[in-house]
Amino acid sequence: MRVTGIVTSLTALAACCALGIAASAQTIQINRENKTIAISTTDEATATADVAAITIGFSIYKPDADSATLEGSRLSHAIMDVFHKAGVEDKSIESVSQGLNRNTNFDDKESAVQRAQRQFHFSQTWEITANPKDAAPILRLALAAGANESGNIDWRFSDRKALQAQAAANALVKARAVANQMADGLHVKLGALIYASNETPNAKLYFVRKNGTYTLNTSSAEIGNTIMTAPPLEIRPQTIREEATVYAVFAIE
């Protein structure tokens, strides 16, 4: 039997998955002397998201470019000021988009007077990376400060590679269980793993900034009138899933 690349341990396979590197092309010769069982299985690993990437933004309409820019600047500084007072660090805040445009999207029911007041559109958006427990207070602060286009949360898991490795390990365990069942049906004994490769589906990669190091201060004494009277939203982090497919070849005795 000839195998150009052999993965002989679960640890090695997991490490390969973590790096997202598929095994190179392999050649396995099948003949009377090469008695094997080949299995392809898919499994997953899950974890609760430990990072919340929160979209914070605002959108306003004004009759002219100058007033739109002036009001946009005021809102932009007001929103950042309330976050700084609450203890959100600059390294956790990232600009996504901002811009001033002439408005061409009018409602047919709008009068000429109403349209005249909506000639220019100014918008700005940030992404704030935070601990999931801070998502609701951050949204409340943003809305109170005038961020009228906020709320989307992109849930992430900081150690994505470890989750991918666990998915591959789970798939390999499943492959051996299936191979054992096949061996029992053939009245043979399953031997050692002689070859394995993995294929982790394409995943969105994140460069997650460190978060949760700051203490979010949402007391009315610090923030003043920007705190809304309503309680924070009930927000729960999502479950992150990673899937891996393993092709494994076992010897039979």
User: Can you give the residue ranges of every domain in the chain?
Assistant: 10-48+159-207+241-252, 51-156
Q: Do domains 10-48+159-207+241-252 and 51-156 have the same CATH topology?
A: no
Q: What is the Cα–Cα distance from 208 to 41, expressed in whole angstroms?
A: 30
Q: Residue 207: is its pLDDT beyond 50? A: no
Average pLDDT on 154-163 reads: 94
Mean pLDDT of 56-69: 96
- 211, pLDDT greater than 70: no
pLDDT above 70: residue 129: yes
Q: What is the mean pLDDT of residues 213-240?
A: 67
Which amino acid type is present at position 95?
Answer: S
Residue 38 has pLDDT above 90, yes or no: yes
How many other CB atoms are there within 10 angstroms of residue 77's CB atom?
11
Q: Which CATH superfamily is domain 51-156 in?
A: Protein of unknown function (DUF541), domain 2 (3.30.70.2970)
29-33, 41-45, 182-186, 224-228: which has the minimum mean pLDDT?
224-228
What is the average pLDDT score of the chain? 81
Which of 101-105, 145-149, 164-168 bottoms out in mean pLDDT, i.e. has the lowest?
Answer: 101-105
What's the rounded mean pLDDT across residues 218-247? 74
In this structure, what token pair is assigned to residue 8? Answer: 């002989």
User: Hey, CA dihedral for 158, 160, 161, 164, is it positive or negative?
Assistant: positive
| CATH architecture type of domain 10-48+159-207+241-252 | 2-Layer Sandwich (3.30)
Q: What pLDDT, on a 0 to 100 scale, did the predictor assign at position 13?
A: 42
Residue 21 confidence (pLDDT): 34
